């Protein structure tokens, strides 16, 4: 059976709202034409409370997909919730859709509409002729709860089937900055394929000797170095036990790291402009995103503030130009911090990093209240108004 693995559409992502929709649609069309079934490991939406028009976009996309004639169909569903379609469009919610265990999330709505099969804490068996594929799913949970959730569900591979363990979580080997993250070898054994979402660049590895795949997001979000590669999806062939990556039409992202050591401001600006122009001329996509990082110590007598770069992005309407960060003429300690961020935190969503710091601070203060630290973090970060968020947290803590 040919299985399409597509992830992290982030429908409703404000900065590239149209990209999120069109690139998900392109992925759906191409993946369907090459596969017998599709699995999607989370973050279909960018928010756990998407606006009605974003939900409408998702319903439109999945309704179009569910009307297609797949060569496989779902024959069995067991676990939390129910399935309302036999179409082999298998999904789980991600961390962006995560709500409490008893609350309905936006991915639940797609399942209730009968246009996807939500296997969060469940298993669906798909058949094509005499071949069977079993997909077990765990949607995004708080990092400190992932290990206990695996133990609680105690998934066991189905005999005579090709078994897939699909989840949406951080792993320490990929993001080595939080001791709460599960190690890859702690994932349950006995599955034929391990599929994760959450990470926005493509990952190909092994888990217990079996393929471990992350397709990456279909839309630019974090603008990290790993997102310079093509966006796309995997096709896994269970008969041949091989897989391939297939790119989609997506906005290109280029990161330019420019060393201005020993240069005066005019020379540095000349090099920056030259690199931007060269990148635009060699890139065929509509309005590529060009992110510039500057480093080095400028010529004696000059400093970073002498660079006239604030108005530079407006000079290039044919691209989206960002001066991301300048590590120019900084003290060594600041450069060490930048190196740490670049090395360990290259593909870490800022929310994940913030939660890790928050959990560390709570542990250091011997936090012992009943509400879990991760839930408290979600409450504090759920409202853009500081007073409202704090009020909600206090109410939850002391009610």
CB 256 within 8 A of CB 288: no
With beta carbons less than 8 A apart as the criterion, state whether 75 and 39 touch: no
Q: What is the pLDDT of residue 332?
A: 41
C-alpha distances out from residue 216 to 16, 168, 204, 245, 284, Å:
16, 11, 10, 11, 22
pLDDT of 343 > 60? The answer is: no
Report the pLDDT averaged over residues 230-238. 97
**Distance between CA atoms of 231 and 220, rounded to whole angstroms?**
8
pLDDT tens per residue, range 76-107: 999 999 999 999 999 999 999 988 777 899 99
pLDDT, mean of residues 364-382: 74
Per-residue buried b or exposed e for 184-216, using 16+ beta carbons within 10 Å of the residue's own CB? beebbeebbbbbbbbbbbbbeeebeebbbbbbb
Section 186-190 average pLDDT: 97
Give percent above pLDDT 70 in the chain: 88
CA distances from 310 to 260, 306, 313, 321 (A): 16, 11, 7, 11
pLDDT tens profile 123-157: 999 999 999 999 999 999 988 899 999 999 999 99
Per-residue pLDDT of 14-34, as tens digits, reads 999 999 999 999 999 999 999
Which string of b and e fits 222-255 if b means at least 16 CB within 10 Å? bbbbbbeeebbbbbbebeeeebebbebbbbbbbb
pLDDT in tens, 262-274: 999 999 999 999 9
**For 29, how many CA atoms within 13 A lie in the half-sphere containing its CB?**
8
| DSSP code, position 398 | H
Q: Is the pLDDT of residue 290 over 60?
A: yes
If phi > 0 it is left, if psi is from -120 to 50 it is alpha, else beta; for residue 397 that is: alpha
The tokens for 73 are: 């169909």
- The whole-number pLDDT of residue 346 equals 54
User: How far is it, in rounded angstroms, from Cα 383 to Cα 47?
Assistant: 12
Q: What was the pLDDT predicted at 220?
A: 95
Token pair in block for residue 26: 């392109």
pLDDT score for 395: 66
In CATH terms, the fold of domain 2-247 is Purple Acid Phosphatase; chain A, domain 2 (3.60.21)
Query: Order of strands, edge to edge, in the sheet holding 131-138?
Result: 73-79, 122-128, 131-138, 162-167, 193-196, 210-214, 203-207
Strand partners, 206: 211
| CA–CA dist 345, 2 (Å, integer) | 34
Parallel/antiparallel/unpaired status of strands 232-237 and 122-128? unpaired
The H or E element containing residue 295 is: strand 289-296
Q: For the chain, give every residue range classified as CATH 3.60.21.10.
A: 2-247
Contacts of 151 (CB under 8 A, 6+ apart): none
Q: CA torsion 155→158→164→168, rounded to 10°?
A: -20
What mean pLDDT comes out for the span 46-60? 96
Measure CA 277 to chain center: 30
The predicted structure's pLDDT at residue 310: 87
Q: In which band, very low, low, confident or very high, does the pLDDT at 179 lie, cut at 50, 70 and 90? A: confident
Mean of pLDDT values over 371-398? 71
Percent of residues in the chain assigned helix, strand, coil, to nearest 5? 35, 25, 45
Rounded to whole angstroms, the Cα distance separating 270 from 267 reads: 5
Specify the DSSP class assigned to residue 360: H
Integer CA distances (angstroms), 258 to 265, 289, 291, 384, in order: 13, 16, 11, 35
> Alpha-carbon distance 173 to 183, whole Å?
6
Backbone angles phi, psi at 274, to 5 degrees: -65, -40
């Amino acid at each position: 059976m040919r299985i399409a693995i597509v992830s992290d559409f982030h429908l409703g992502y404000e900065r590239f709202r149209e990209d999120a929709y069109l690139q998900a649609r392109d992925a759906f069309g191409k993946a369907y034409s090459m596969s017998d079934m599709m699995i999607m490991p989370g973050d279909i939406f960018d928010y756990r409370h998407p606006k009605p028009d974003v939900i409408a976009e998702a319903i439109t996309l999945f309704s179009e997909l569910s009307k297609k004639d797949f060569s496989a169909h779902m024959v069995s569903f067991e676990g939390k919730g129910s399935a309302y379609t036999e179409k082999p469009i298998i999904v789980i919610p991600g961390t962006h859709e995560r709500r409490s265990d008893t609350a309905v999330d936006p991915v639940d709505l797609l399942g209730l509409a009968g246009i996807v099969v939500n296997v969060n804490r469940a298993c669906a068996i798909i058949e094509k002729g005499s071949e069977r594929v079993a997909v077990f799913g765990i949607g995004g949970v708080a990092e400190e709860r992932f290990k206990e959730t695996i133990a609680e569900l105690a998934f066991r591979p189905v005999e005579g089937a090709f078994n897939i363990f699909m989840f949406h979580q951080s792993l320490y080997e990929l993001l080595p900055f939080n001791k709460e993250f599960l190690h890859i070898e702690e994932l349950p054994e006995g599955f034929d394929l391990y599929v994760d979402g959450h990470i926005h660049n493509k990952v190909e590895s092994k888990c217990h000797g079996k393929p471990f795949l992350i397709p990456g997001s279909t839309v630019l979000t974090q603008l990290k170095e790993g997102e310079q590669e093509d966006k796309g999806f995997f096709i896994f062939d269970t008969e041949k036990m091989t897989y391939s990556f297939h790119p989609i039409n997506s906005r290109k992202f280029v990161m330019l790291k420019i060393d201005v050591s020993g240069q005066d401001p005019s020379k540095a600006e000349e090099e920056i402009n030259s690199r931007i122009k060269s990148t635009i001329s060699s890139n065929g996509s509509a309005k590529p995103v060009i992110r510039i990082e500057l480093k080095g110590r400028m010529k004696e007598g000059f400093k970073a503030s002498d660079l006239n770069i604030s108005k530079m992005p407006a000079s290039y309407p044919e691209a989206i130009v960002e001066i991301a960060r300048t590590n120019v003429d900084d003290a060594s300690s600041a450069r060490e911090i930048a190196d740490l961020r670049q090395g360990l935190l290259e593909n870490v969503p800022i929310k994940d990093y913030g939660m890790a710091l928050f959990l560390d601070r709570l542990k250091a203060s011997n936090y012992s209240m009943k509400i879990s630290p991760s839930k408290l973090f979600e409450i504090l970060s759920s409202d853009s108004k500081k007073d409202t968020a704090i009020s909600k947290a206090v109410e939850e803590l002391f009610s």
